[in-house]
Each structure stands twice: as C-alpha cells, then as structure tokens.
Amino acid sequence: MELTDFFQPGMAREDQYQVEEAHTAIHVGSGSYRVLATPWLIGFMERTARRLLAEHLPEGYSSVGVLVNVRHLAPSAVGSRLRVLAEVVAIDGWGVTFNVQAWDDQEHIGSGQHQRVVIEEARFLRRLAKKTSSSHPD
C-alpha cells in the first residue's frame, strides 16, 4: 500500500470546536486562567488531522501522532468557537505531515506542524500486547 494512493499534498479538513470549562488551562493544570489550554489546542489540531486521514484510509488502518510543533498565539475564553484547519503538506513513506492552524471568533490563535504515521491496526495491537505481556511477568 502506498499512502499517495490515498493522500496528496493540499488535502485539508476543517473542524469546529467550542471551548468548554474542561478545556481551560486552570482545569488541566497547564496555567492559571479560564482560557483554552495549550494541550487542548494541540489536541484539537491532532483530532482534525486524524479525522482527515481516517476518512480516506482503508479498513484496518489508522494513524498515530508522532510529532507536534505548535505556537499558541492568543488566548480564547470559555464559550469561544474555534475553527481548526489541518492540511497535508508532505507524505514520506508511512508518515504524513500537516500544517495546522486555529482561529477563535476574533483572531488567529495557533499555528504549527503535526506529523502522523499510518499504522496497520492488527500489527500495532500485536506489538502492544507483546510489550504489555513482557512488562508484567506472571
């Protein structure tokens, strides 16, 4: 299987999210204020990129995040609506690199790159099971 059979640079997906109390920096412990926490901004970006891949991958394949490089540029209050864009910019073997962007109701709030690797789910789960069983001897 070649990823270029399924993906090309320029493919994009845009999702919308709403900032809730559970997404705030004070709630997750990454800051002192009721604003969108950076880990949640990154999570929304990753989720949007994963959804783009999931729409096009054949059954039995998924993806995992392997790299995130994001700048959180501005605060967003609870209740803000976010728009998150993930665009494929490169494909290298089983890896896909995305440019990710985010805006709230008023301004551009985040920008960066995210990389995901496409996995064969059965192989991934076998590897995990082997790792889990070897770390817990009977």
Which whole number is the average pLDDT over 95-124?
97
Domain that holds residue 16: 3-131
Which whole number is the average pLDDT over 64-69?
98
Within-domain flag for 79: yes
- What's the CATH code of the domain at 60? 3.10.129.10
**In sequence order, which ranges of the chain are alpha helices (DSSP H)?**
25-28, 38-56, 121-135
The domain tally of the chain equals 1
> What confidence score (pLDDT) does residue 136 get?
61
Within-domain flag for 60: yes
> What confidence score (pLDDT) does residue 132 get?
87
Cα atoms in the 13 Å half-sphere on the side-chain side of 31: 14
Within-domain flag for 137: no
11-46, pLDDT tens digit by residue?
Answer: 999 999 999 999 999 999 999 999 999 999 999 999
Within-domain flag for 53: yes
Q: Which two tokens stand for residue 21?
A: 């109390």
Within-domain flag for 111: yes
Phi-psi region of 60 (alpha: psi -120 to 50; beta: other; left: phi over 0): left
d(CA 30, CA 129): 32
